[in-house]
Chains A and B, each alone.
Chain A
Amino acid sequence: MIEAAVDALAVVLRLDRLAFIFLGTGIGLMVGIIPGLGGVVGMSVLLPLIFGMDPITGIAMLVALTAVTQTADTFASVLLGVPGTSGSQATILDGYAMSQQGRSAEALGAGFSASILGGLFGAFSLFVVLWVARPIILAFGSPELFMLSLLGISMVAILSRGATVRGLIAASLGMLLSSAGVAPMVADFRFTFGSFYLYSGYKLALIGLGLFAIPELIDLLVRNTSISRGIALSGSVWDGVRSTLRNKPLVLRSSGIGTIVGIIPGLGGSVVDWIAYGTAKQTIRGNTFGDGDVRGVIAPESANNAKEGGALVPTILFGIPGSSTMAVFLGGLVLMNVTPGPSMLNEDLDVTLSIVWSLAIANAVGAIGCLLAARQVAKLTSIPAKTIGPFLIVVFVFAAYQSSNSWVDVAVFLTLGTVGWVMKEAGWPRPPLLVGFVLGGAAERYLWISAARYGWTWLSRPGVISIGLLTLAILVWGFVAQPGKSTDKNFGNEELSQ
């Protein structure tokens, strides 16, 4: 096996293949930096280009793109306070708070270094887990996936510490939003206002952008200071790197969470950062999460890069895409006459191992590139609001428009932005709404499949009971352990430090 891995490395390190990996990395960084675009857009751009290429080169380029999209999205999350992609939603909680304290370079350094480590962990896990993952994946049926969705929703109790009731109401609202569009089990259209636009439901990118971008933009322009609030930029990129290295156990734990969530098909990348963030917040004593704690950047960033390695496991082994990006990646495999399945571990072993190496190389190259650029890009946070604000308005409106290339996107963006602004003024936490929206659809789908397939007997499955008890414990902990007043003047989940 080691010999095959070394051979695959030699294959990947060929100059022309490296050039294509760099090209994929470049495009991945570009789509990651621009809020609203994501891995799916980048993959769709590359698909026509890889037609006719040899499989190893084409797949290496696709893998490079998907690997670094999750790295570059840190720029938007930390500097602008809006999620660059769905995998960096949780990063904004502490990353943007650090920017407001003039510590954006440190936040970026921590984010990128955590991304490298997470990405390498994901690549290594892919290499190891491919051979043992089959029983793990098969053990997760729809009942367990439903319970995992509930577990994710219960993270709201942690995310809205001190405002648990308001957080859960926001999560309910998010779940209700997720039920707009076609119902999963019957051909019935719900809450569409008779509009064709809503037949496919609301778009996640639009909800994230609306809820976070507009309130932060308003805050920035009303204050009329820079994002760093006139505070001189302090801390360097290397301070962030050192913080990551000091928190190795956190990186490992979060990367582990990322890989596992990635392996389980159906949950997708939108929730991995929340789970990693929630777990870190719950387990680290004396943390100041929400107020600019660098560990609040490290946890989600290492998890969302590690997730890519995990998501490749079911894609390669079973041809089951773990996320929408992986669905397009699957199309790429088919385009190059590579059939996903157990044959990937026999006849196409060279292709599989080249995927592992491409993932590792792209993660390292992408994150190092971002690290080198971070110091200069961080200076954006010191530009006065009245200068940078109009540029941000342009970026946000165009990003919103990319959801489905419709003017209704902009209308929904403005409406959600207004709701997000009122939520911020009222001290209601906004992240739970996003979590409820992300997981509501999955919860309903898996609940129906479980009920149709198993009746009520699914409730007695050991996996269901274990995850159910964990969910209950988190909810009780959220209500009992951390009472107090919460404000959403920053991002909604921090409490007053008494």
Chain B
Amino acid sequence: MTQRDGESIDAAETVGRSAAQNERIENIANIILSLFVLVVFVWAWSESVAFRPQAQTFPRVVIGIGVVLLTAHVVIAAPGWLRGFRNTRAPSSLWMSKRKELAVLGTVLGFALLVAVTGPYFGVAGFLLVSQRHALRQSGRKRLTIALAVVIFLGLLLVIEASLGVEWPQPIIDVSRLVR
């Protein structure tokens, strides 16, 4: 077994997946991605019909090359996918093993929504304090460290905003205005 094989199996086990699950996930991701790319290419081709001739040549050449390559990829990889599905039974926890990844995506989306609603500083402070609640429950020293980190981080945002003229997202409902 190569070192990298070992690493990826270790990584899979770290997040509660076996190597077989990992292979199955890779195959499913490959099929989803191939389908997604195909849909994008087909959609782009249909859209390009409305373009003027000079504007449609380049995208169509790119789509043509892409479709040929995608076909080659599917033809080469499909036997392996089928073999993989035949050899490994679908573990019941397959999709459950993805819940952590989806939770992270949801958290990023949640943070963006929080800032959209409450404004940058309330949003950031609230999000950071809630996300660090595990540390805030611990010793006084840790509480102080986290609180300081949040304050310094907010201070940095303010300094960057003031010195570089960088704009932060404007809230949909400005809580800070409501408080004032």
Contact = CB atoms under 8 A, between A and B. Distances in A.
Contacts of B124: 394
A30 B66 contact: no
Contact of A37 (B29, B33, B164): B164
Given A30-B160, A31-B164, A425-B25, 12 more contacts: A42-B164, A168-B69, A172-B69, A176-B44, A176-B63, A179-B59, A183-B52, A186-B52, A188-B54, A190-B51, A401-B168, A401-B169
Interface residues of B, number: 68
Contacts, number: 177
Interface in A318-346: none
Interface string B141-165: 0000010010001000100100111
Interface string A416-435: 01110111011110000000
Nearest to B128: A390
Given A191-B47, A391-B153, A407-B116, A414 B128 contact: no
Interface in B43-58: 44, 47-48, 51-52, 54-55, 58
B33 A426 contact: yes
Nearest to B145: A387
Contact of A222 (B25, B100, B132): B100
Contacts of A417: 105, 108
A397 interface: yes
Most buried by B among A37, A166, A418: A166
A468 B163 CA distance: 47
B122 interface: no
**How extensive is the interface on chain A, given as a class?**
35 or more
B19 interface: no
Given A172-B62, A191-B47, A497-B3, A185 B54 contact: yes
A173 B164 CA distance: 34
A447 interface: yes
27 contacts: A27-B163, A37-B164, A45-B165, A165-B72, A166-B73, A168-B65, A172-B63, A172-B69, A176-B40, A176-B62, A176-B63, A179-B58, A188-B51, A188-B55, A190-B48, A191-B59, A214-B105, A218-B104, A225-B14, A391-B153, A419-B36, A422-B29, A425-B29, A426-B32, A427-B30, A428-B30, A496-B2
A172 B29 contact: no
Nearest to A425: B29
A487 interface: yes
A291 B4 contact: yes
Given A221-B100, A222-B101, A45 B164 contact: yes
A444 B58 contact: yes
Contact of A179 (B41, B62, B73): B62
Given A291-B4, A402-B166, A487-B8, A393 B111 contact: yes
Contacts of A251: none
A45 B161 CA distance: 11
Contact of B58 (A166, A217, A414, A447): A447
A418 B48 contact: no
A165 B76 contact: yes
A497 B14 CA distance: 22
B179 interface: no
Report whether over half of chain B's contact residues are helix, strand or loop; otherwise say mixed. Answer: helix
A191 B46 CA distance: 10
Main secondary structure of the interface of A (DSSP, over half): helix
Contacts of A34: 160
Contacts of B36: 419, 422
Nearest to B159: A30
A202 B32 CA distance: 23
Contacts of A426: 26, 29-30, 32-33
Contacts of B58: 179, 443-444, 447
A466 interface: no
Interface in A438-452: 440, 443-444, 447-448
Contacts of B149: 391
Nearest to B72: A165
A42 to B, nearest CB: 8
A273 interface: no
A186 B52 CA distance: 8
B157 to A, nearest CB: 8
